[in-house]
Amino acid sequence: MATNRTNKFLGYLESRKNLTGSACGIAGLGLTFAGVAGAYWPLVVVGLYGAGALIAPPERPSLPDFPDPSAQLDELRGDFGKLRAYLADVELPPAAAGRLTELTELLAALLDPGWVAEVLAQDPEGVHTLSRAVRTDVPEAVDTFVRTRWWVRLAPGTEAPERHLERQLGLLHQEAEALAAGLRETEARRQESHTRYLEDRA
C-alpha cells in the first residue's frame, strides 16, 4: 500500500501538472523578489502554482504494446501449420477436398516469408482477413461439415452438407484472391510511382 502511494507521489512529481505549476510558482517567487507581490507573496506563489497545474495538458497514458504486423504474421504461420495438421486428419469428398487444397495453397503463398509477406505486413486489414480465415473461417467450415455429415446419416434426404462446405470454401478462396489482387495492385502502384519519379528526375 505504501509502495503504491510512493509510486503515485513520484509519478505526480514528474507529471506535466506539477512541472507547469512549479514553473508558474517560480514565476510567483520572481514577482515577490521584484516587489510586486508584497505581503501576499505566499498566496501569489500558491495561486500561480495552482493555475499552472490547472492549465497543464492532461497526462496521456502510454499506448499498449501490441505486436507489429510482422510478428503477427509469424504467429499466424504457426497457427496455419496447426490448421494444416488438423485438415490432414479430416476426410472430405473429392470436390470439397479440391477446393480446400486450392484455398490452403493460396493461403500458404500469402503467408510465405518474403516480399509478399513484407507487403502484407503493411496492410493491417489484410493481416486481419488472413488471420480470420486461418483461425476461424476454415476450421469452422470444416468442423461444421464433419458434425453435420454425421447427423445427415441419421436423417437422410436433407441437403448434402458438402454443398455448403464447397460454397464456403469457394467464398473464402474469392476473399483470399481479392486480398492477393489488392497486394498485387499495391506493388503495381509502387512501380508506377517509381517510373514517374524517374521521369520527373530526368
Convert the pLDDT of each residue in 23-52 to its tens digit.
877 887 777 777 776 776 777 777 777 777
Q: What is the reported pLDDT for 43?
A: 77
Domains of the chain, by residue range, sit at 2-55, 69-201
The alpha-carbon radius of gyration of the chain (Å, integer) is: 31
d(CA 164, CA 47) in angstroms, rounded, equals 73
| 124 in Cβ contact with 68 (< 8 Å) | no
The SS3 call for residue 54 is: helix
Q: What is the reported pLDDT for 3?
A: 66
C-alpha cell at 1: 500500500
Q: Grid coordinates 507529471 are at which residue?
A: 15
User: Which residue positions in the chain have pLDDT lower than 50?
Assistant: none
Q: What is the reported pLDDT for 79?
A: 95
Q: What is the reported pLDDT for 135?
A: 95
d(CA 119, CA 4) in angstroms, rounded, equals 45
